[in-house]
Amino acid sequence: MKSKVSSRILALDILRGITIAGMLLVNNPGSWGHIYAPFEHSSWNGLTPTDLIFPFFMFIMGISTYISLRKTAFVFTSAVGLKILRRTLLIWLIGLSVAWFSLFMRSLFGTDLAALPLLERLGSAANNFDHLRILGVMPRLAISYGVASLVALLVKHRYIPYLVAAILVGYFIILMVGNGFATDQTSILWVVDNAILGPNHMYGAGRIIEPEGIMSTLPAIAHVLLGFCCGRLMMEVKELHEKVEQLFIMGAVLTFVGFLLSYGCPINKKIWSPTFVITTCGLASTLLALLVWVIDIKGHRVWCRFFESFGVNPLFLYVLGGVISIIIGSVPMPFVAKTISIKGFIYADLLQPAFGDLFGSLIFAFLFLSMCWSIGYVLYTKKIYIKI
């Protein structure tokens, strides 16, 4: 018996929601010094479950780009180009704004400016552009989306896999020639970012490799294009069973190739190595196939309603979570004798004594996630979709 063709594949929203929920969870522990191993990024080479979250979202972005641009018949027009440019700039500017707000709040409630009058303190805290991080998660999403969308409109689709291969091979050569796998400032990745961005505009003030740096944006673009190619394979067949088959095949091939090549090119998220791209796209394709089978074919949907709330307003809830995290991590807790942030009070005074260091930190992360979900659920039930 053939499956009914669905106009919208719910599994796409669910996987998108899983990644956003995962980002909010791992980005908001009660204490950065007390985190269970699966919720930490790998120190350098290798993969943890947390390392899969961001690349999975970018993979889904590639599929969504295919579905979105298919409505334009993949024909470049000034209106379509302007729309892509507008969205690219909007995502980037939101990322810069959140980075600025983080510096502003830390300075405003920090000890360095505490002796200044309020207005002078506000002005000094707001004038932090000389230390503003230019790149980051949102800027990487913006650049990858913008370039991948233009490639999808201007390059024949049968050539895109070759373009992806050329980018990844070229980036691997750059890493090999430029000592790109080094963890110190001899790496070509640090040299380029330091020369163009400057240490004050890099992650960790330039003391370590910028994880969303200029050079590593090249494989990130290839990452989204791989998702685009997967979206094309998936959407060109009508039957859900065929979609699952295509996703499983592509996932198995990419995962096998990625792990095989990792013996010569380590899997590394911080530099977004070619094998990191290939392996995580393979795992994302496999997981999506499983979700399509469970949700869209078998109809087991009750369990996934939690993630659907995140999946229909993904970037808005991610940004909102970031803003809330900055606020509760900076603003002092009122009506307590000692100076401590709201987050610090909840963790150190309430959760840690009751549940211990690690488990208390994890409970805080789940409480934070639940708060973000409650906002997303209200938007979801009212069918309010805030597109960024």
Residue with tokens 């095989």: 260
pLDDT in tens, 73-109: 999 999 999 999 999 999 999 999 999 999 999 988 8
Residue 24 confidence (pLDDT): 97
How many angstroms separate the CA atoms of 67 and 73, rounded? 10
DSSP helix/strand/coil, 117: coil
Would you call 60 exposed, middle or buried from its count of C-beta atoms within 10 A (0-12, 13-18, 19+)?
A: buried
Single-letter amino acid, residue 1: M
Structure tokens at 228: 């685009």
Task: Give per-residue burial for 88-113: e unless 16+ CB within 10 Å, then b.
Answer: beebbebbbebbbbbbbbebbbeeeb
At position 13, the amino acid (one-letter code) is D
Q: Give yes or no for a contact between 226 and 153, defined as CB atoms under 8 angstroms apart.
A: no
How many percent of the chain have pLDDT more than 90? 81
What is the spatial distance between Cα 132 and Cα 141, in angstroms, rounded to a whole number?
Answer: 18
Query: How far, in Å, CA of 99 to CA of 93, rounded?
Result: 10
DSSP state, residue 341: B
Q: Which residues contact 27 (CB under 8 A, 6 or more apart)?
A: 321, 322, 325
State the average pLDDT over residues 266-284: 97
Residue 47 three-state SS: coil
- Judging by beta carbons within 10 Å of its beta carbon (0-12, 13-18, 19+), is residue 298 exposed, middle or buried? exposed
Give the predicted TM-score (pTM) of the model: 0.93
For residues 327 and 330, give the distance between their C-alpha atoms in angstroms, rounded to a whole number: 5
Higher-pLDDT residue of 116, 5: 116
208 or 20, which is more confident: 20
Confidence of residue 336 (pLDDT cuts 50, 70, 90): confident
> Are 247 and 230 spatial neighbours (Cβ–Cβ below 8 Å)?
yes
CB burial of residue 10 (10 Å; 0-12, 13-18, 19+)? middle
User: How far is CA 228 from each of CA 13, 40, 63, 319, rounded to the nearest angstrom?
Assistant: 16, 29, 5, 24
Please say whether the beta carbons of 233 and 250 come within 8 A: yes
Cβ-proximal residues to 261 (8 Å cutoff; 6+ apart), any chain: 274, 275, 278
- Report which of 324, 378, 373, 374 is spatially closest to residue 21, judged by C-alpha positions: 373
Alpha carbon 79 to chain centroid, angstroms:
28
Q: For 122-179, what is each residue's pLDDT tens digit?
A: 898 899 899 999 999 999 999 999 999 999 999 999 999 999 999 999 999 999 999 9
Contact in structure between 213 and 193 (CB atoms under 8 Å)? yes
Average pLDDT, the chain: 93
Query: What sign has the CA pseudo-torsion 268, 26, 56, 71?
Result: negative
Q: Of the given ranges (5-14, 59-68, 258-267), which has the lowest mean pLDDT? A: 5-14
Handedness of CA 258, 161, 9, 23 (dihedral sign): positive
Which helix (H) or strand (E) segment is 229 a member of?
A: helix 217-235
pLDDT at 337: 65
Residue 6: band (very low, low, confident or very high) from pLDDT cuts 50, 70, 90: very low
Residue 374 burial (CB count, 10 A): 10
Of 39, 23, 18, whose CA–CA distance to 361 is shortest?
39
